[in-house]
Every structure is written in structure tokens, then in C-alpha cells.
Chains A and B, each alone.
Chain A
């Protein structure tokens, strides 16, 4: 008689403890939505910033821009190149 009674009391105690734990955990999770929203906003902001900066980098490194800047800085187009060695012929007389 005692053993079944002890068993039932133990089960009830475990159920009570788990219920309390569930309430505590749910309570903690309930406010994480705000944090999640904040993190998602921050990610979105950084992605937008990355996209905007990538656009600026691409424009700055475009050949059109580089050529224009080079001209403004006084760079000139090379007229010729100096080759130190020429290709060897296949055969010589």
C-alpha cells in the first residue's frame, strides 16, 4: 500500500516541477520575439549597407571611371612598348 502511494506522490511532484519549468521557459521565450525582430532589422540594415557600398566600389573601380580619373591626373596612353628580347626563330641559316 505504501509503495503505490509513494509512486503516485513522486509522479505528481515531477509533474508539478515540470509545469513550473515550462512556465518559466515559456516566459523567457515570450520576449525573444523583440530580440529576433531587432536582430532581423540589424541584419537587413547591414545587408543594405553592404549592397550600397558594393555599388560604390564597383563604380569606382570601373574602367570608365579609372580612365577618366587617370586622364584628370595627367596619365598618358602608352605609345609603344620596349621589348628586351624578341621571339627566337624556328631555324637559322
Chain B
């Protein structure tokens, strides 16, 4: 009897232990796997796309923002009356009926019909209640000011995996800051798909992109672009550029280039237009470069303003080449003040001879020539200055008047702005502050890069440039009542070992008001056809913009 009882008891113990073991297996060993399976049944994993940060001008207006758009998709297996649906979709979406029909004929459960559809079109399609057609809300980059500052801002395209990615300009340079970080969320729902209050886990890890505020002044940019567009058309040029900087801080107030493109429709434009030529194209600056070389001559005491040029009575021969003035006019014993006023190439050759190659190269270095400026834009380039040993006498001579040396417009403007800022060169930058998604602000401070010349030299050079702007070849275009420092430039374009005899890059560089500069500006007109000279093309554009800027800033005439 007790034996049978023990046996029954033992069987029950074994059964009990088996159940415990099985429970242990399902609840401990397989717990995680079952939890995932369960979540898949009653929960859905949502990827939370972050909002891309905005790009704002100095007045807080977003020149790059996000708008609501829709992706129209279809489930071809559910679409009834394919022909009628294709016709309705093609008429509303503006797509070719054949391509819509082919998409609806695919043997798939999800196909993309069209992206970037406006809310109005989506509403119209929704009302048609087409079976098998659905809409997915998306966020698309949009530019309220159309193509204003297009080269500066860049655009948003698609990356390797179809994600939004910034290219060129600020969208490219600050892409990681602007993009933010996607998050994941699990939402629990019942058998009918409705969410359950008890467990909702939203915004797990999603971080919206940071917004950036620029030093760019929207009004100044608008003024510059308008004047540039009018000037390029008036002078029959291939293109043009304007850069405006605050010399005291290095902040970029405006940067415009033509021809330009519409960032919202960048695919419709040639890729060659995407690069910002103000920072990405190299050119021989011509006579505008004389202001840097003459400053160097004054600063090193190689020459003084009233030093007389003993070789300026006629053309100069060097290394088998003959150097002439632009108008073949020669003045014996001309002073350095008049060398700049008359844009005398022979006078500049004299300055380079007095300065010496080694000293000249050191000043190039201090002015930032041959180095990246460090501006916060994607795509900046720089040409190297060749080593001292590789310079010939003719190279030194031509470099003194801005030929044979290549710079970007940004390098030239940045170096020139040092004259306007008491000899201190500031690092140019476009962004003044970065705002995080939670409201914190990170200011970008001004940064001093070098002191190429002393403040005394800067003051002297300022007066020389004021004299050049007032009495030089561009004086017809100057603004009366204002002291504006400036220099014209008419640079020949190198082509296959020689210079093009008919085409030039015309420019004018200057700052105003001379006593307390509010802005420094460089205007470049590429291959003008009405006149090849900077004094007759770039200078009028410069003074046109300067006039509007002085009115905008409320700066009264000084004289």
C-alpha cells in the first residue's frame, strides 16, 4: 500500500517538476524572444523622423525651412479600375498617364506614385476616394526666398540610403547639426489597431536638428543680388559676384553669384552651378591686388606715400617680357599715391623691387593669400603660393599688380578687409549662432586671424584708396558726400599659356564709410562685353550697392 502511494506521489512530483521546468524555459530562457514576438503582435515600431533645423538670416527669418508634403503611394493589388485611376492620378499629379499606368500594373503591394505632392493636391485626391491609393505625410525642405543666397545656402538632396542630406554651402557644411537624429517608438494597440492608453512610448531618442542663424542680412543680400543681376545684364557679362563683409567681425553680410539656381529645383540645373564661385573659383585678381602689395610696401617701410618711382617714365623689360600700363600712359617720378590712383603697373613693379620677394611672400602669408580663409561653407579652395626658389623676376613683377597669382574672391576680400579694420584680419564666417532643439543658443564669436599691417599703415592706405576712388578712373561713378575707399581691377584671363586679349575679369573692391567702415565689398563682373574695364562695369555696381547700403544703415553724408 505505502509503495503504491509512494509511486503515485513520485509521479505527481515528476509531473510537477516538469511543469516547473517548462515554465522556467518559456518565462526565463525564451522571455526576450517571446516579448519581441508579442510586441510585433500588439505593438508597432514607429521611426520618428526628426525635424531638420532651419537656416535663418540675422533678422530671424528662415531662408531654409520645412514644409508639409505628401508621398502618394498605391497598392496595385487593391486598385480597382486601373485605367480610370491612372487617368485621375495623372491629371491631378501632372504625370504622364503611361508611367502612372505602368506603376499601377506592377505586381507589388506598395508602389510609389509621386513624392512632394502639395497638401491642396492631396486634399483633391482624397475626395476622389480612390481605392488602393494612400498618402504618407513627409517633410520637404523649402526656401521661402526662392533662390536668394542659393550658393551660400546650398540644398538638400538624398544620401546613399535615401536619407535627406545637405550639399554645398551651409546645408552641406552644417548637415550633421541640421539633420538631427531619428528616434524609435513602440505604440501598443488593440485587436482593432486602436492605441491603448496604458503604454505609449513616444519620442524615444528623436532629436530635432539644430537651427542656425546667419550674420547674413536679408535686405543687404537682396540689394546686392538685384544690383548684380541688373549689372550683369547691362554690361553683357557671363556672370558676376558680390561679397560684403563686416571688417570688424568678419561676418558675411551678403554673398551673391550669378548665374544662380533654385535650390528647391536643383535637379533642373547643371551641376556646374552648385559650387559657390566666391569661395570655390580661382582667378588672377589684377589691380585690386595692388592695395595689398602697396600696404605691404608702406608697412615694411620699403616705400612711403610720397616716394617717387624712378622707373615709371616708360615700359619696363624683365626676363624677355615688356610690362606696360593699362592705358600706355607713363608719368615720370610718379608718387605711390598716384601709382594707386592711376593703377600704374610700372609703379607696382617698383614697389615689388623695393619690397623684395621674401618680404612680399611673408605679407602674402599674413594677408591669407595661399591659405583657406576658414569660412564655414562647404567647398572652399585655395591655390598654393609656389616656393620662393621657384619665383623668377617677371613673376615677382606681375604678382605686384595681381597677375600670375591666383586667389578666390573670398581670400581677396578677407585680406583687403584688414585695411578697413586697422590692420587686423578677421576670420570670415556666415553663421553667428546655433540654436539647439531645446532652446539653448551657442554663439559663434569673432576670431582674429592675423595682423598683416599696423593700424598706422591701415590709416595711410585708407587715405590712398579714398583718393583713388575719388580721383581715379572710376570717380565718375562715386557717391558724392561720402568718403569711400576703393580700387578698380581689370584682370586678364589666362588661357593655355597666354592671356586672352579680348576678355577680362573686371572688379572693384572697397569699403565705406572710410573713417569708420560699416562694410567692405568686392564686386566681380566676369567677361563683360560692353567694356572690359572694372572702372566702367564693376565700379558702378559697387557704388550702386554702396549707395543703397548707406541709406539702409542710415549713414548721412560726411562732406
Contact = CB atoms under 8 A, between A and B. Distances in A.
Say whether A and B bind each other: yes
Contacts of A83: 556-557
Given A36-B194, A62-B144, A64-B145, 8 more contacts: A32-B197, A33-B190, A33-B197, A52-B119, A58-B61, A64-B146, A67-B222, A87-B558
Contact of B557 (A32, A67, A78, A86): A86
A27 interface: no
Contact of B194 (A37, A55, A78): A37
B218 A63 contact: yes
B194 A33 contact: yes
Interface of A: 29, 32-34, 36-37, 40, 48, 51-52, 54-55, 58-59, 61-64, 67, 78, 80-81, 83, 85-87
Contacts of B145: 62-64
A66 to B, nearest CB: 10
A81 to B, nearest CB: 5
Contact of A29 (B146, B194, B198): B198
Given A64-B146, A83-B556, A86-B556, A36 B222 contact: no
B146 A51 contact: no
Interface of B: 61-62, 65-68, 119, 137, 142, 144-146, 148, 189-190, 194-198, 200, 218-219, 222, 551, 556-558
B67 A51 contact: yes
A52 B218 contact: no
Given A33-B189, A36-B200, A83-B556, A59 B144 contact: yes
B7 to A, nearest CB: 37
A37 B218 CA distance: 43
A26 B219 CA distance: 61
A55 B142 contact: yes
A52 B222 CA distance: 25
Given A58-B144, A63-B148, A64-B148, A36 B67 contact: no
A55 B68 contact: yes
Contacts of B144: 55, 58-59, 61-62
Nearest to A44: B137
Given A62-B145, A62-B146, A86-B556, A51 B194 contact: no
A83 B551 CA distance: 10
A52 to B, nearest CB: 5
Candidate in B119, B195, B196, B558 with the most chain A CB atoms within 10 angstroms: B195
A54 B146 CA distance: 16
A5 to B, nearest CB: 33
A52 B558 CA distance: 48
B229 to A, nearest CB: 12
Contacts of A80: 551
A54 B142 CA distance: 12
A61 B195 CA distance: 40
A33 to B, nearest CB: 4
Contacts of B137: 48
B206 to A, nearest CB: 15
Contact of A51 (B62, B68, B190): B68
